[in-house]
Amino acid sequence: MSAVLSPPLYTQTPWRTALLALGAVLLLLGGLYADTVVAMVGIWSRSDTFAHAYLVPPISLWLIWRQRERLAQLVPQPQPWLLLALAAAAVLWLLGDLVNVNAATQLAWVAMLVLAVPAVLGFKVAHVILFPLLFLFFAVPIGDFMLTPMMEWTADFTVAAIRLSGVPVYREGLQFVIPSGNWSVVEACSGVRYLIASFMVGTLFAYLNYRSNTRRVVFMLVAIAVPIVANWLRAYMIVMLGHLSGNTIAVGVDHLIYGWIFFGVVIMIMFVIGARWSEPDEQHAAVTGAASNDRALARADWRARPVTVAALLTAAVMALPHAVLWGLAKQEQGTSAVSVQLPDALAQGWLGVETPAVSFKPLFVNPSAEVVRTYAAAAGTNGTGPGTGAVTSVGTSAVASTGSEVGVYLAYYRNEGADRKLVSSVNHLLSSENPLWNQVASGGRSVATPGGTSAWRSISVRPTVGAGGARRVPLQVWRIYWVDGRWVAGDAQAKLTAALGRLQGRGDDGAALVIYTGHEDPAQADALLETFVRDNLGTLQSLLQSTREVR
């Protein structure tokens, strides 16, 4: 039986009206959220990790075009109740925008784009093009959160493999030393870019080559595992090539070239093997005369008004976040510049030191104000016995041994934006590329204070192996955020607290407080920092609160 060919979409009255309505909604979405789109494309252009995202929109459009005959057989039926899901995505965008979380705003924008299709055209239409719609999420440049664990996994595997090869290794954190030289695992060695690219291409391959959802899921899992293991092998081989060649190959630019060649070969092998289990393209049932008559009746009963109303309601929901932002912007007008000063003396005899024994500064980008000061404890304050931290006061300064000094770094943020964020992936207690210090451990601490228990994030830092300069002792570094008048430790908690504070009209003022001290014994260093927190967190809270009130 020959199939009944459907006329093109644009010649059918229901589809003409429905596509015009959807097109208007998508144009509005692009116009209202142009800043989000520009920020997303900007990340594609400056980051090799997400350069593949340029291919996502045209691939999605091509995949939708392949389904045009199936779509032509359907009648658009809007689903207004999906406005609830659309509203949830709009709220996510609003919260993300309030605290400048690009990943949240960009995910929410793509979610609104995807949800607009079933809201205006209906579930049956969305089901036919479900994969092309979901594929659009690969355009969101997200995945940097995997950098740290993947760097650690790469370092673990590389060091273990080198030892199994009979080469002695000394490791500190992400840096290690072998007889032929020093190596370190940095962001480019994490394998995140390989993983994201492999998962996107592998997902597309699975959709086009398999009909079974089980096979698709299995191949997608393989597309995740293969680049991770391949990156481990790549790192090991590069180190061994450098070691065996006397550091004449696999260093510098060719280091990266060999990596991409190896990755390309591995992915090609994965596709060749996966193609052996490919399934023929599904054959869509021909449209019988009766079915064609049923659809003709459905088109005869179709009315444009529900689609128009659904499109208008969808547009209204998309516009709501901007109405809220407009109201908040009027409330926050006229905020002044920020000035923060740490006093010469804190509570319980902690005195400022003019010439600190330890020089350390975390990386916080573009704060509204920042200040660094070192304080020395009075004798016996550090909990290691009387006299170990003796202080000689000279006016407002003090001279102390390294074991009694605590450095204080304060970064204050106000009027946050794209280039100024308290919680950001570019802010670090210690950058992995720092030439002087190397992070060897991380964790958390809780300290009971008169104002309540405060939770801190901590790292252990040691001098970089082979780095020159004056002798430096290991450091213990603690960090906490002050947001909306509260102390919080986690990044997500800080972002959520800031967003809720702004929604309630209390502004976006926040600060990062970092304290650190040097000692050969980490336990004694932590004890000194804990004492400092108990003695002075209330004083620092009052200082930040008074800064917030000056506008």
Share of the chain above pLDDT 90, in %: 29
Residue 479 burial (CB count, 10 A): 19
Contact between 109 and 318 under an 8 Å Cβ cutoff? The reply is no
Query: pLDDT-based confidence at 397, cuts 50/70/90?
Result: very low
Q: Mean per-residue pLDDT for 499-527? A: 88
Q: Mean per-residue pLDDT for 485-492? A: 88
pLDDT at 333: 60
Lowest-pLDDT range of 58-67, 475-484, 500-509, 538-547 = 500-509
Q: Is the pLDDT of residue 258 over 70?
A: no
Relative to beta strand 170-172, strand 175-178 is antiparallel
Q: What is the mean pLDDT of the chain?
A: 81
Please name the residue that has the structure tokens 């449209």.
287
Q: Mean per-residue pLDDT for 459-482? A: 79
Half-sphere exposure of 449 (CA within 13 A, CB side): 23
- Closest by CA position to 201, among listed 286, 143, 138: 138
Contact partners, residue 507, CB within 8 Å, separation at least 6: 332, 335, 414, 501, 548, 551
What is the SS3 assignment for 369-397?
EEEEEEEECCCCCCCCCCCCCCEEEECCE
pLDDT at 500: 86
What's the CA gap between 129 and 258, in Å, rounded?
A: 39
Q: Is the pLDDT of residue 386 over 90?
A: no
Summarised one tens digit per residue, pLDDT across range 270-304 is 888 888 887 766 544 444 444 444 454 445 445 66
Contact between 310 and 118 under an 8 Å Cβ cutoff? The reply is no
Report in angstroms the alpha-carbon separations of 58 from 36, 70, 72, 135.
19, 20, 21, 11
